[in-house]
Amino acid sequence: MKRIFFILLIFIISVLSTHAFAQSITVLGSDWNVPTPAVPTEAGSDYNPNLFESIADLISISVYIPTSWFDSKTVNVKWEGNPNWNAGLKLHVKKTKNPSVTPGGCLFCGFSGGSDYIEVLNSNKRFFEVNNGIAAHTFANAEVQVKISGVSVAVPTGSYNAKLVFTITD
């Protein structure tokens, strides 16, 4: 009987610890429709400007890092475009506000990267990194701005859309 209880206890602890120690990322945001620029009226001219920025807090990212001493996690970004995406259009992201840390205060916590625009590719690219110091923490509401560049009369008229995908890795 003691053996069955011990095995059951080990099983319960392993299931709970697997769930309790799972890192997670939550991304909130909305669609962004780029305004249609005025068509150039002079021969040989192009759109001015040829890039557009979203509002500073278009996307909010929260990261949970479970208890682990000085554990760093990397938030990656990539885009998934529709088949007719034009290669001349480039997406960029930057972090406009560092996340807040909960529970309050964080000994040895840190953030790095993401404060300058990076081009988003169709494969994972490092965006920013968080370090949880000496306890489990949630890094809540890092605000992200999106920019599209390459808007040009050379890009065929059409509707282009892409989905930004954020992941968290060790």
Residue 21 is predicted with a pLDDT of 62
Which tokens belong to 13?
């602890």
The Cα 166–Cα 51 span in angstroms is: 23
The Cα 132–Cα 106 span in angstroms is: 7
The Cα 50–Cα 146 span in angstroms is: 14
Residue 158 is predicted with a pLDDT of 84
Give φ, ψ of 44 to 5 degrees: 80, 0
pTM of the model: 0.81
Which tokens belong to 127?
């965006």
Residue 2 is predicted with a pLDDT of 52
Full pLDDT tens readout for the chain, 170 residues? 555 544 433 444 433 433 456 889 999 999 999 887 777 778 778 877 788 999 999 999 999 988 777 788 999 999 997 888 899 999 999 999 999 888 777 778 888 999 999 999 999 999 999 988 777 888 999 999 999 999 888 888 888 899 999 999 98
Residue 16 is predicted with a pLDDT of 40
Residue 6 is predicted with a pLDDT of 43
Residue 20 is predicted with a pLDDT of 52
Residue 29 is predicted with a pLDDT of 95
Reference 58, options 147, 167, 131; nearest CA is: 147
Where along the chain do its domains lie? Answer: 22-29+45-169
Which tokens belong to 89?
């259009």
Give the CA count within 13 Å in the CB-facing half-sphere of 47: 17
